[in-house]
Amino acid sequence: MQVVAMSKGLPISAEKLGLVVTAVRGKQVNQALAILRFSQTPSAREVAKVVKSAMANAENNYQLISSELKIVTIFANQGRRMKRFRARSRGRVSPIIKRSSHITVILGSVES
């Protein structure tokens, strides 16, 4: 049984989230949450929310035990980009690209 949770439109770039996501890929849920709790990046808080949401989906919708869950797949995709411009000297502009991202977590049960 696989359980999915997604978070879309986070105002953090996918590159920054990718560093945190690779740290918890393939870990058990309790171990992944411990890693995210002590990680010092602000993006770890967003990843932890999605992992907790997937864990709650597994418990409530499929009656799975949270201690037996493992992160099968987790990835961060690029989301929408807002394009802005900043005025520069001599009538020129320079672009500002505000990136967003989507996080997807798929949990599965650990085979004993």
Of 74, 98, 73, 69, the C-alpha closest to 85 is 98
pLDDT value for 112:
45
Among all chains, which residue has been given the structure tokens 């961060």?
76
Reported as a single tens digit per residue, the pLDDT across 50-90 is 999 999 999 999 999 988 999 999 999 999 999 999 999 99
Of the given ranges (12-16, 28-32, 46-50, 108-112), which has the lowest mean pLDDT? 108-112
Domains of the chain, start order: 2-109 (3.90.470.10)
Question: What tokens appear for 100 in the block?
Answer: 């967003």
* SS3 readout for 27-59: CEHHHHHHHHHCCCCCHHHHHHHHHHHHHHHHH
pLDDT value for 111:
74
Could you tell me the pTM of the whole model? 0.89
Cβ proximity of 75 and 14 under 8 Å: no
Mean pLDDT of 34-38: 96
Of the given ranges (2-6, 65-69, 83-87, 98-102), which has the lowest mean pLDDT? 65-69
Strands of the sheet containing 93-109, edge to edge, are 2-10, 93-109, 69-87
